[in-house]
Structure 1
Amino acid sequence: MTINKDQILINQIVKGDTSAFTVLVDNYKDLVFTLALRMLKNREEAEEVAQDTFIKAYKSLANFKGDSKFSTWIYRVAYNTCLDRIKKNKKHLNDVPIDEFTEHELKTIDNALQQLMTAEKNETIKKCIAQLPSDDAFLLTLYYFDDLSLEEISKVVDLTPNNIKVKLFRFRKKLASILKVQLEPEIIATYERERR
Protein backbone atom coordinates (compact mmCIF):
# COMPACT_ATOMS: atom_id res chain seq x y z
CA MET A 1 0.00 0.00 0.00
CA THR A 2 1.25 3.46 -0.75
CA ILE A 3 0.93 6.21 1.81
CA ASN A 4 -1.63 7.99 -0.38
CA LYS A 5 -3.86 4.91 -0.67
CA ASP A 6 -3.66 4.36 3.08
CA GLN A 7 -4.53 8.00 3.73
CA ILE A 8 -7.51 7.83 1.36
CA LEU A 9 -8.80 4.76 3.24
CA ILE A 10 -8.21 6.44 6.61
CA ASN A 11 -10.15 9.53 5.50
CA GLN A 12 -13.04 7.31 4.37
CA ILE A 13 -13.03 5.42 7.67
CA VAL A 14 -13.02 8.61 9.74
CA LYS A 15 -16.08 9.72 7.72
CA GLY A 16 -17.84 6.48 8.71
CA ASP A 17 -17.09 4.09 5.83
CA THR A 18 -16.63 0.75 7.65
CA SER A 19 -15.95 -1.15 4.41
CA ALA A 20 -12.80 0.96 3.97
CA PHE A 21 -11.66 -0.29 7.39
CA THR A 22 -12.11 -3.87 6.19
CA VAL A 23 -9.75 -3.11 3.29
CA LEU A 24 -7.20 -1.57 5.66
CA VAL A 25 -7.37 -4.60 7.98
CA ASP A 26 -6.94 -6.96 5.01
CA ASN A 27 -3.82 -5.04 3.94
CA TYR A 28 -2.12 -5.24 7.35
CA LYS A 29 -3.59 -8.26 9.18
CA ASP A 30 -0.77 -10.63 8.19
CA LEU A 31 1.95 -8.22 9.30
CA VAL A 32 0.25 -7.51 12.64
CA PHE A 33 -0.39 -11.20 13.31
CA THR A 34 3.20 -12.18 12.45
CA LEU A 35 4.61 -9.56 14.81
CA ALA A 36 2.22 -10.58 17.59
CA LEU A 37 3.15 -14.24 17.10
CA ARG A 38 6.87 -13.40 17.28
CA MET A 39 6.39 -11.57 20.57
CA LEU A 40 3.84 -13.81 22.27
CA LYS A 41 4.88 -17.19 20.81
CA ASN A 42 1.28 -18.38 21.11
CA ARG A 43 -1.09 -18.53 18.13
CA GLU A 44 -4.33 -17.92 20.05
CA GLU A 45 -2.92 -15.00 21.97
CA ALA A 46 -1.43 -13.55 18.79
CA GLU A 47 -4.85 -13.73 17.11
CA GLU A 48 -6.47 -11.97 20.08
CA VAL A 49 -3.77 -9.29 20.15
CA ALA A 50 -4.14 -8.76 16.39
CA GLN A 51 -7.88 -8.20 16.88
CA ASP A 52 -7.23 -5.87 19.84
CA THR A 53 -4.69 -3.98 17.74
CA PHE A 54 -7.21 -3.26 15.01
CA ILE A 55 -9.91 -2.31 17.54
CA LYS A 56 -7.49 0.17 19.14
CA ALA A 57 -6.44 1.42 15.71
CA TYR A 58 -10.07 1.94 14.67
CA LYS A 59 -10.88 3.87 17.85
CA SER A 60 -7.86 6.16 17.52
CA LEU A 61 -7.66 6.44 13.73
CA ALA A 62 -8.85 10.04 13.85
CA ASN A 63 -5.65 10.82 15.80
CA PHE A 64 -3.41 9.45 13.02
CA LYS A 65 -1.76 12.58 11.60
CA GLY A 66 0.23 10.95 8.83
CA ASP A 67 3.60 12.05 10.28
CA SER A 68 4.84 8.52 9.65
CA LYS A 69 3.72 5.70 7.38
CA PHE A 70 0.52 3.97 8.48
CA SER A 71 2.45 0.66 8.66
CA THR A 72 4.82 2.21 11.22
CA TRP A 73 1.87 3.48 13.25
CA ILE A 74 0.04 0.11 13.21
CA TYR A 75 3.31 -1.68 14.16
CA ARG A 76 3.56 0.60 17.19
CA VAL A 77 -0.04 -0.13 18.20
CA ALA A 78 0.63 -3.87 17.80
CA TYR A 79 3.89 -3.64 19.76
CA ASN A 80 2.26 -1.80 22.68
CA THR A 81 -0.69 -4.21 22.67
CA CYS A 82 1.73 -7.15 22.85
CA LEU A 83 3.60 -5.54 25.74
CA ASP A 84 0.29 -5.03 27.57
CA ARG A 85 -0.59 -8.70 27.03
CA ILE A 86 2.81 -9.87 28.28
CA LYS A 87 2.49 -7.72 31.41
CA LYS A 88 -1.06 -8.94 31.95
CA ASN A 89 -0.02 -12.57 31.70
CA LYS A 90 3.16 -11.90 33.68
CA LYS A 91 5.11 -14.02 31.27
CA HIS A 92 8.77 -14.39 32.02
CA LEU A 93 10.67 -15.47 28.96
CA ASN A 94 14.08 -16.99 29.42
CA ASP A 95 17.05 -15.21 27.94
CA VAL A 96 19.22 -17.22 25.62
CA PRO A 97 22.69 -17.66 27.15
CA ILE A 98 25.37 -16.46 24.79
CA ASP A 99 29.09 -16.80 24.62
CA GLU A 100 31.23 -13.92 23.52
CA PHE A 101 31.35 -13.83 19.75
CA THR A 102 34.06 -12.17 17.75
CA GLU A 103 33.28 -10.47 14.46
CA HIS A 104 35.05 -13.35 12.71
CA GLU A 105 32.74 -15.94 14.30
CA LEU A 106 29.67 -13.89 13.33
CA LYS A 107 30.92 -13.66 9.73
CA THR A 108 31.62 -17.40 9.69
CA ILE A 109 28.04 -18.09 10.74
CA ASP A 110 26.76 -15.60 8.13
CA ASN A 111 28.81 -17.40 5.47
CA ALA A 112 27.42 -20.75 6.60
CA LEU A 113 23.90 -19.34 6.30
CA GLN A 114 24.58 -18.27 2.72
CA GLN A 115 25.30 -21.89 1.83
CA LEU A 116 21.74 -22.90 2.68
CA MET A 117 18.96 -22.49 0.14
CA THR A 118 17.06 -19.22 0.64
CA ALA A 119 13.78 -20.85 1.71
CA GLU A 120 15.60 -23.24 4.01
CA LYS A 121 17.60 -20.37 5.44
CA ASN A 122 14.50 -18.28 6.14
CA GLU A 123 12.78 -21.22 7.81
CA THR A 124 15.85 -21.94 9.94
CA ILE A 125 16.17 -18.29 10.94
CA LYS A 126 12.46 -18.05 11.80
CA LYS A 127 12.69 -21.13 14.03
CA CYS A 128 15.76 -19.71 15.75
CA ILE A 129 14.19 -16.26 16.17
CA ALA A 130 11.21 -17.97 17.85
CA GLN A 131 13.62 -19.12 20.59
CA LEU A 132 14.57 -15.52 21.44
CA PRO A 133 12.78 -13.33 23.99
CA SER A 134 9.83 -11.33 22.63
CA ASP A 135 11.49 -7.93 22.19
CA ASP A 136 14.52 -9.46 20.48
CA ALA A 137 12.36 -11.46 18.07
CA PHE A 138 10.16 -8.44 17.36
CA LEU A 139 13.04 -6.11 16.46
CA LEU A 140 14.85 -8.71 14.35
CA THR A 141 11.61 -9.44 12.47
CA LEU A 142 11.01 -5.76 11.75
CA TYR A 143 14.57 -5.24 10.55
CA TYR A 144 15.39 -8.43 8.65
CA PHE A 145 12.02 -9.74 7.44
CA ASP A 146 9.87 -6.60 7.15
CA ASP A 147 12.80 -4.45 5.94
CA LEU A 148 11.98 -1.49 8.18
CA SER A 149 14.71 1.11 8.50
CA LEU A 150 16.27 1.98 11.86
CA GLU A 151 14.28 5.24 11.82
CA GLU A 152 11.00 3.41 11.20
CA ILE A 153 11.70 0.89 13.96
CA SER A 154 12.61 3.71 16.35
CA LYS A 155 9.15 5.20 15.82
CA VAL A 156 7.53 1.83 16.52
CA VAL A 157 9.37 1.08 19.78
CA ASP A 158 10.13 4.67 20.86
CA LEU A 159 13.93 4.31 20.99
CA THR A 160 16.63 6.19 19.12
CA PRO A 161 17.90 4.69 15.84
CA ASN A 162 21.35 4.34 17.43
CA ASN A 163 19.85 2.45 20.38
CA ILE A 164 18.05 0.14 17.91
CA LYS A 165 21.36 -0.46 16.11
CA VAL A 166 23.06 -1.49 19.37
CA LYS A 167 20.13 -3.75 20.33
CA LEU A 168 20.10 -5.38 16.89
CA PHE A 169 23.81 -6.14 17.22
CA ARG A 170 23.26 -7.75 20.64
CA PHE A 171 20.21 -9.70 19.44
CA ARG A 172 22.17 -10.85 16.40
CA LYS A 173 24.81 -12.27 18.75
CA LYS A 174 22.10 -14.15 20.65
CA LEU A 175 20.65 -15.39 17.37
CA ALA A 176 24.14 -16.46 16.27
CA SER A 177 24.49 -18.70 19.33
CA ILE A 178 21.20 -20.41 18.46
CA LEU A 179 22.04 -20.63 14.76
CA LYS A 180 25.41 -22.16 15.53
CA VAL A 181 23.71 -25.11 17.25
CA GLN A 182 21.19 -25.43 14.39
CA LEU A 183 23.74 -25.10 11.60
CA GLU A 184 26.54 -27.29 12.86
CA PRO A 185 24.73 -30.56 12.00
CA GLU A 186 23.87 -29.12 8.55
CA ILE A 187 27.47 -28.06 7.91
CA ILE A 188 28.79 -31.48 9.00
CA ALA A 189 26.31 -33.22 6.68
CA THR A 190 27.32 -30.95 3.77
CA TYR A 191 31.00 -31.57 4.45
CA GLU A 192 30.48 -35.34 4.53
CA ARG A 193 28.55 -35.25 1.22
CA GLU A 194 31.37 -33.26 -0.42
CA ARG A 195 34.04 -35.74 0.83
CA ARG A 196 32.34 -38.74 -0.78
Structure 2
Amino acid sequence: MSQPDEYYITKVLEGDVASFSYLVDRYQDMVYGLAFKLLRNEEDAEEMAQDSFVKAYRSLNSYRQQSKFSTWIYRITYNGCITLLRKRKLEVRSMDEQQLTDKDEAQLNAQLIEMDKALVEKLLQEAMEKLPELEQVLITLYYFEEQKMEEISQITGLSESNVKVKIHRARKKMYDLLHQSYEEGIFSSV
Protein backbone atom coordinates (compact mmCIF):
# COMPACT_ATOMS: atom_id res chain seq x y z
CA MET A 1 0.00 0.00 0.00
CA SER A 2 1.25 3.43 -0.91
CA GLN A 3 2.20 5.92 1.78
CA PRO A 4 1.41 9.66 1.71
CA ASP A 5 4.04 12.01 0.27
CA GLU A 6 5.02 13.26 3.73
CA TYR A 7 6.13 9.75 4.72
CA TYR A 8 8.63 9.54 1.84
CA ILE A 9 9.79 13.13 2.35
CA THR A 10 10.55 12.38 5.99
CA LYS A 11 12.40 9.18 5.03
CA VAL A 12 14.55 11.06 2.50
CA LEU A 13 15.35 13.81 5.00
CA GLU A 14 16.36 11.11 7.50
CA GLY A 15 18.90 9.77 4.97
CA ASP A 16 16.91 7.13 3.05
CA VAL A 17 17.74 8.46 -0.42
CA ALA A 18 15.95 5.57 -2.16
CA SER A 19 12.59 6.76 -0.80
CA PHE A 20 12.71 9.69 -3.21
CA SER A 21 12.11 7.22 -6.05
CA TYR A 22 8.54 6.73 -4.76
CA LEU A 23 7.87 10.45 -5.24
CA VAL A 24 9.43 10.35 -8.71
CA ASP A 25 7.26 7.37 -9.66
CA ARG A 26 4.15 9.08 -8.34
CA TYR A 27 4.66 12.43 -10.14
CA GLN A 28 6.87 11.75 -13.16
CA ASP A 29 3.99 11.58 -15.66
CA MET A 30 2.40 14.77 -14.38
CA VAL A 31 5.71 16.66 -14.32
CA TYR A 32 6.60 15.46 -17.82
CA GLY A 33 3.11 16.39 -19.05
CA LEU A 34 3.40 19.92 -17.71
CA ALA A 35 6.88 20.34 -19.20
CA PHE A 36 5.71 18.99 -22.56
CA LYS A 37 2.72 21.36 -22.63
CA LEU A 38 5.03 24.31 -22.13
CA LEU A 39 8.07 23.26 -24.14
CA ARG A 40 6.32 21.26 -26.90
CA ASN A 41 9.31 19.03 -27.37
CA GLU A 42 9.70 15.50 -25.97
CA GLU A 43 13.44 15.73 -25.45
CA ASP A 44 13.25 19.11 -23.69
CA ALA A 45 10.31 17.91 -21.57
CA GLU A 46 12.19 14.78 -20.48
CA GLU A 47 15.24 16.84 -19.57
CA MET A 48 13.12 19.39 -17.71
CA ALA A 49 11.34 16.63 -15.77
CA GLN A 50 14.70 15.16 -14.72
CA ASP A 51 16.03 18.61 -13.78
CA SER A 52 12.88 19.32 -11.76
CA PHE A 53 13.26 16.17 -9.70
CA VAL A 54 16.96 16.84 -9.15
CA LYS A 55 16.13 20.38 -7.95
CA ALA A 56 13.34 19.04 -5.74
CA TYR A 57 15.66 16.46 -4.21
CA ARG A 58 18.40 19.02 -3.55
CA SER A 59 15.91 21.48 -2.07
CA LEU A 60 13.77 19.00 -0.16
CA ASN A 61 14.99 20.35 3.17
CA SER A 62 13.50 23.74 2.23
CA TYR A 63 10.06 22.25 1.44
CA ARG A 64 7.83 23.50 4.25
CA GLN A 65 4.71 21.46 3.44
CA GLN A 66 2.57 24.61 3.31
CA SER A 67 1.26 23.25 0.02
CA LYS A 68 1.04 19.74 -1.39
CA PHE A 69 4.23 18.18 -2.72
CA SER A 70 2.60 17.98 -6.16
CA THR A 71 2.07 21.76 -6.13
CA TRP A 72 5.67 22.30 -5.09
CA ILE A 73 7.13 20.03 -7.80
CA TYR A 74 4.79 21.60 -10.37
CA ARG A 75 6.09 25.02 -9.34
CA ILE A 76 9.70 23.91 -9.79
CA THR A 77 8.87 22.48 -13.23
CA TYR A 78 6.86 25.52 -14.29
CA ASN A 79 9.63 27.92 -13.27
CA GLY A 80 12.24 25.84 -15.06
CA CYS A 81 10.17 25.81 -18.26
CA ILE A 82 9.51 29.55 -18.13
CA THR A 83 13.22 30.22 -17.62
CA LEU A 84 14.07 28.05 -20.61
CA LEU A 85 11.39 29.67 -22.76
CA ARG A 86 12.64 33.14 -21.82
CA LYS A 87 16.13 32.12 -22.78
CA ARG A 88 14.74 31.15 -26.14
CA LYS A 89 12.98 34.51 -26.26
CA LEU A 90 9.56 33.02 -26.82
CA GLU A 91 6.73 35.22 -25.72
CA VAL A 92 3.41 34.13 -24.34
CA ARG A 93 0.69 35.76 -26.38
CA SER A 94 -2.58 37.08 -25.06
CA MET A 95 -5.96 37.96 -26.54
CA ASP A 96 -8.60 40.46 -25.60
CA GLU A 97 -11.07 39.04 -23.11
CA GLN A 98 -14.44 38.10 -24.53
CA GLN A 99 -17.48 36.93 -22.64
CA LEU A 100 -18.72 33.37 -23.05
CA THR A 101 -22.39 33.33 -22.17
CA ASP A 102 -24.16 30.42 -20.52
CA LYS A 103 -26.33 30.19 -23.64
CA ASP A 104 -23.25 29.85 -25.89
CA GLU A 105 -21.82 27.14 -23.67
CA ALA A 106 -25.15 25.28 -23.47
CA GLN A 107 -25.51 25.43 -27.26
CA LEU A 108 -22.02 24.05 -27.78
CA ASN A 109 -22.61 21.32 -25.19
CA ALA A 110 -25.80 20.25 -26.98
CA GLN A 111 -23.87 20.02 -30.25
CA LEU A 112 -21.03 18.07 -28.66
CA ILE A 113 -23.36 15.54 -27.02
CA GLU A 114 -24.57 14.51 -30.46
CA MET A 115 -21.08 13.68 -31.70
CA ASP A 116 -18.92 10.62 -31.37
CA LYS A 117 -16.78 10.76 -28.22
CA ALA A 118 -13.53 10.01 -30.07
CA LEU A 119 -14.16 12.85 -32.50
CA VAL A 120 -14.93 15.20 -29.62
CA GLU A 121 -11.67 14.29 -27.89
CA LYS A 122 -9.76 14.80 -31.13
CA LEU A 123 -11.35 18.21 -31.73
CA LEU A 124 -10.80 19.30 -28.13
CA GLN A 125 -7.13 18.28 -28.37
CA GLU A 126 -6.71 20.18 -31.64
CA ALA A 127 -8.36 23.27 -30.15
CA MET A 128 -6.17 23.02 -27.06
CA GLU A 129 -3.01 22.78 -29.16
CA LYS A 130 -3.91 26.11 -30.78
CA LEU A 131 -3.90 27.88 -27.42
CA PRO A 132 -0.80 29.70 -26.16
CA GLU A 133 1.39 27.52 -23.96
CA LEU A 134 0.43 29.16 -20.68
CA GLU A 135 -3.28 28.70 -21.37
CA GLN A 136 -2.70 25.04 -22.25
CA VAL A 137 -0.94 24.57 -18.94
CA LEU A 138 -3.71 26.30 -17.00
CA ILE A 139 -6.43 24.24 -18.70
CA THR A 140 -4.41 21.05 -18.10
CA LEU A 141 -3.82 21.82 -14.44
CA TYR A 142 -7.42 22.84 -13.77
CA TYR A 143 -9.44 20.34 -15.81
CA PHE A 144 -7.16 17.33 -16.25
CA GLU A 145 -4.98 17.43 -13.13
CA GLU A 146 -7.88 18.83 -11.06
CA GLN A 147 -5.72 21.40 -9.29
CA LYS A 148 -7.50 24.14 -7.34
CA MET A 149 -7.16 27.80 -8.33
CA GLU A 150 -5.02 28.41 -5.24
CA GLU A 151 -2.65 25.59 -6.20
CA ILE A 152 -2.43 26.79 -9.81
CA SER A 153 -1.63 30.25 -8.47
CA GLN A 154 1.20 28.81 -6.38
CA ILE A 155 2.50 26.78 -9.33
CA THR A 156 2.47 29.62 -11.86
CA GLY A 157 3.12 32.59 -9.60
CA LEU A 158 0.01 34.30 -10.99
CA SER A 159 -2.63 35.70 -8.69
CA GLU A 160 -5.76 33.59 -8.24
CA SER A 161 -7.86 36.23 -10.00
CA ASN A 162 -5.40 36.27 -12.92
CA VAL A 163 -5.58 32.47 -13.13
CA LYS A 164 -9.38 32.64 -13.23
CA VAL A 165 -9.32 35.26 -15.99
CA LYS A 166 -6.78 33.34 -18.05
CA ILE A 167 -8.74 30.08 -17.71
CA HIS A 168 -11.90 31.93 -18.74
CA ARG A 169 -10.13 33.36 -21.78
CA ALA A 170 -8.76 29.95 -22.72
CA ARG A 171 -12.23 28.41 -22.47
CA LYS A 172 -13.59 31.18 -24.67
CA LYS A 173 -10.87 30.60 -27.26
CA MET A 174 -11.55 26.87 -27.24
CA TYR A 175 -15.27 27.56 -27.64
CA ASP A 176 -14.54 29.83 -30.61
CA LEU A 177 -12.27 27.22 -32.21
CA LEU A 178 -14.82 24.44 -31.72
CA HIS A 179 -17.63 26.66 -32.96
CA GLN A 180 -15.55 27.55 -36.02
CA SER A 181 -14.99 23.85 -36.70
CA TYR A 182 -18.73 23.28 -36.42
CA GLU A 183 -19.46 26.13 -38.81
CA GLU A 184 -16.95 24.75 -41.30
CA GLY A 185 -18.86 21.51 -41.36
CA ILE A 186 -16.29 19.31 -39.68
CA PHE A 187 -18.95 17.98 -37.35
CA SER A 188 -21.36 17.14 -40.16
CA SER A 189 -19.26 14.16 -41.21
CA VAL A 190 -20.32 12.23 -38.13
Is the TM value for this pair above 0.5? yes
2: CA distance, partners of 1:13 / 1:152: 24
Equivalent residues in 2 for 1:172-187, closer than 5 Å: 172-184=171-183, 185-187=185-187
CA 1:70 to 1:99, structure 2 compared with 1: closer, same or farther past 3 Å?
Answer: closer
Q: CA RMSD in A?
A: 2.5
The two structures have a TM-score, normalised by structure 2, of 0.86
CA 1:171 to 1:5, structure 2 compared with 1: closer, same or farther past 3 Å?
Answer: same
Are 1:65 and 2:52 an aligned pair? no
Equivalent residues in 2 for 1:1-196, closer than 5 Å: 5-92=4-91, 102-103=100-101, 104-184=103-183, 185-190=185-190
- Cα distance, 1:115 vs structure 2: 3.2
The two structures have a TM-score, normalised by structure 1, of 0.83
1: CA distance, partners of 2:62 / 2:119: 42
Of all paired residues, the percent bearing the same amino acid is 36
Contact 2:129 2:136 in 1 (8 A): yes
SS of the aligned residue for 2:130 comes to coil
Q: Which moved more, 1:115-124 or 1:133-142?
A: 115-124
Task: Structure 2: give runs of 5+ residues left out of the alignment.
Answer: none
Aligned residues: 188
1: CA distance, partners of 2:97 / 2:156: 27
- Cα distance, 1:94 vs structure 2: 6.0
Q: Which moved more, 1:84-93 or 1:105-114?
A: 105-114
Match for residue 194 of structure 1? none
- Cα distance, 1:43 vs structure 2: 1.2
- Cα distance, 1:128 vs structure 2: 2.0
- Cα distance, 1:174 vs structure 2: 1.4
- Cα distance, 1:113 vs structure 2: 2.8
- Per-residue CA deviation, residues 41-68 of structure 1 (Å, 9 max, x unaligned), is 1111111111111111111111111111
Tell me which amino acid in the other structure corresponds to 1:176: Y
CA 1:102 to 1:72, structure 2 compared with 1: closer, same or farther past 3 Å?
Answer: closer
CA 1:5 to 1:125, structure 2 compared with 1: closer, same or farther past 3 Å?
Answer: same
2: CA distance, partners of 1:50 / 1:121: 30
1: CA distance, partners of 2:112 / 2:123: 9
Contact 2:100 2:172 in 1 (8 A): no
2: CA distance, partners of 1:134 / 1:170: 13
